[in-house]
Amino acid sequence: MNLAPAPVPVADLAAERRGGVWRAVVRVSQDDGMTLLLDDLRDRQRRAVGGPPEWGQAWDRVLELTSAPWQGREMIWDSPVLADGAATLALALYLIATDTGTAPATVTRAQVEALLAVPPDGTVLDVTARWDALVSAAGHDPRNPGDPVSICWQGLQTDHSLPADAPDWMVMDGPRRWGIAYQEGLGYALMPRFGLDF
């Protein structure tokens, strides 16, 4: 008698444009179980190996901060946003530490929030330019496909905004992601309900 759990169908709702018409697409796959958010973060940390020591320290700090409040949280609904938020936090800790000559563990929440803040007369593009400049100042080419810091930064610049001509049903889709991954992710992960106290 096989007592192993049956594979669980996993649905992924997406939208695609075919012939000028937006259509909802549901992709269903089989999964043996849910991935935990902390497992996803550890996997991201493993893929980030190869950077300067402070880069590894930043990831260690993020796992330290998230291990208790996010324990047991599965990769569903908003967890991909939180995962991007955690990766953005690692990058922010690294960039601030490198810029100030301190250790990632000493970076404060106020410093991270200041780095994420949009200037009063600016846009998110100004924030992206500021992060690009810090990545460069830390000794990385922001477009280098072989540098672990740059690879992380490139992935976090994914824009999840809907196209201007998206139909209303897509705009009203509750679990849809909005905006640039690093802005959306870190802003969300820093909400008090997720318990990142530093």
- Tens digit of each residue's pLDDT (9 = 90 or more) over 90-110: 999 999 999 999 999 999 999
Give me the pLDDT at residue 178, please: 76
Name the pTM for this structure. 0.80
Q: Poorest-confidence range of 9-13, 68-72, 132-136, 137-141? A: 9-13
* Greatest distance between any 2 Cα atoms in the chain: 67
3-state per-residue secondary structure call for 26-60: EEEEEECCCCEHHHHHHHHHHHCCCCCHHHHHHHH
> What confidence category does residue 22 fall into, taking pLDDT thresholds of 50, 70 and 90?
low
Domain-by-domain residue ranges, the chain?
A: 34-194
Handedness of CA 50, 53, 58, 59 (dihedral sign): positive
Residue 35: alpha-carbon gap to chain centroid: 16
Q: d(Cα 86, Cα 102) in Å, to the nearest integer?
A: 20
Q: d(Cα 125, Cα 97) in Å, to the nearest integer?
A: 23
What is the overall mean pLDDT for the chain?
85
Give me the pLDDT at residue 188, please: 94
